[in-house]
Structure 1
Amino acid sequence: MKAKKGVLLINLGTPDSPKVPDVRRYLDEFLMDGRVIDIGVIQRNLLVRGIIVPFRSPKTAKLYNEIWDKEKGSPLLYISEEQVALLREELSDEYQIELAMRYQNPSIEQALEKLRLAMVDSIRVIPLFPQYASATTGSVIEKVMRLMSTWPTFPEISFVNQFYDNELMIEAFADNGRLKKPETFDHVLFSFHGLPIRQLKNVDNSGNHGCDAPNCCAQISSTNKFCYVAQCHATARLIAEKLHIAPEKYTVCFQSRLGKEPWVQPYTSDALEKLAHEGAKRLLVFSPAFVADCIETLYEITVEYGQEFKKLGGEHVELVPSLNTHPKWIEALKQMVLGEQANIPNMQLGETVVNK
């Protein structure tokens, strides 16, 4: 009998609808994750359920309403489903491919149960976050391992824990950027999702890693190889090199901060203000932390930052579409499933394997 191989693709998550109760459930599950807001559980309960979720849910629901497709639903979900459908076409029937979201539906529990009932011999888990962070990839791995801990028997399981330098992914982003003619813009932004600075202090088990070191993010080293910010800079560098964008013509920045504590800088809003002050009128924005367009790209960048830049004296902010269903991205996923590494030389694809 031919062995059955399981594949589990996991993205961040989305509400079941743009209605306030569904958005509230999504935000509650997301923000109560101890890897997302890494403070004591009592403090987290008070902060999330007492302040953030009650006040943020109605506002966030309005934003989801702006991007929600009346027929297809959440862009993140239906684009992810399209990615899975295309990946199935590229792989043989030997593979059973399931999609899950870290928060809400389709749930990781449901996807794992399908693979368990299929009695697969192995499971390849691919968290769909190019750059490693404890709050994203780390949370996914922890959740999968916790759920599987009750299984009486284990198939072989492996995780792709980062692919920030995957050559096919870089080429796909570059292809999308090339269509926008970056040379016609005054400046290019690579806007990544932000993280609290305190979460960067634990990326080196020796405790020696520090973002204050000169040129800390200039290259990937043994001490910053799991640093989200260093990996973001590496992704931006590789895309810029493909498009022949000079270092002085682009800026790496970070969006979506929450609360008053310091997050990774420069903030995208500050970058917009600085560029407008310098006279820039047209900006091109990549968002390479996301493999599918979602609220952070379709609304936060396209609408919020577009309006903000115009108020500052700029004229236009143009979003480069995410990977979505680009053929090279689907091929990159296929190679990750097969365990092949289509990467830039001297930069290794992170992988963790747990034997059965």
Structure 2
Amino acid sequence: MATMEAVQFSFTERNLALNKVPIPEVRNPLDVLIKVAYAGICGTDLHILAGEYPCRQMGAITLGHEISGTVVEVGCGTNTIGIFKDGGWAQYVLCPEEQVHKLPQNLTLEQAVLAEPLSCIAHGWDITSPLIVGEKILLLGAGITGALWACVLHLQGHRTVVVSEPNTTRLEMMRKLNTNYKMVTPEQLKKNAQKDPEWYSFDVVIDCSGDVGAIEQGFSLMNSGGKLVVYGVAPPANKISISPYDIFRKEITIVGVRTNPYTFKKALDLIASLGSRYLSHTALGVKPFLLSEYQEAIDTLKKGTIMKAVFRM
């Protein structure tokens, strides 16, 4: 039986390891076998590794739900790829046909590994619209999702945007996108809001951090009629403390954004529109790793010296 390398997680042992496993076989007529080119490491994956987010608990599971690659075999269910069903941190992955999307010829596999996070942003855009040019927007978090939100906002003409992030290295990486957005730490945001409360009050706050303190700070700086967009994935047990009276007084709308229902086509269109102007891996702080470098990839991402780690096969 032909085998492949896969980075697998054991929920019961809280252990991540590079294993030799059989290459999946196409047995269902609606399955597609993909030879993986790139597979991203998502913040959700880090929550899974920390035991803070549910995943398949029986046996070892191959993580990775951000995948680009080449079809090598087709059979012509659904559990989430890389969370409840083996995913793309491997040389091959078996996917349901309905979850496979053909790339236009002008898109690269390198760009396409960002399709899954962009499909989530596309869904967020849909349910928070209208986002009106001229509104003041606060982005909380300068990881890859914050960076991609910044790219999409800039593409759509938004210029009055502030990005808040405690990691100054990530703020410096965000500056490479040349959006001219204001980059501040949470402490700088607090001081600026005290000095100039009129400018540092926001019509839209988009949380990409999943951090309780960041969300509470963002909420405190909202204008009347504002929208709070809860986009970042927080551990399920975490709670925020906000005043119901302030929600009432300011007529605040709170919007939750969960994953990417039926928005992959929009994500591919976004990639085509964003192009190399925004989606350079270098500018976005995306660093490739081999599967065998999985621990270095996880550690580097946790240190915050890169925006995103991807496995390159």
Q: Which bin holds the TM-score, normalised by the shorter protein?
A: 0.3 to 0.5
Question: What TM-score do you get using the length of structure 1 for normalisation?
Answer: 0.34
Greater relative contact order (Cα < 8 A, sep 6+): 1
TM-score, L = length of structure 2: 0.38
Q: Which one has a larger percent strand, Structure 1 or Structure 2?
A: 2
Q: Which has the higher helix share?
A: 1
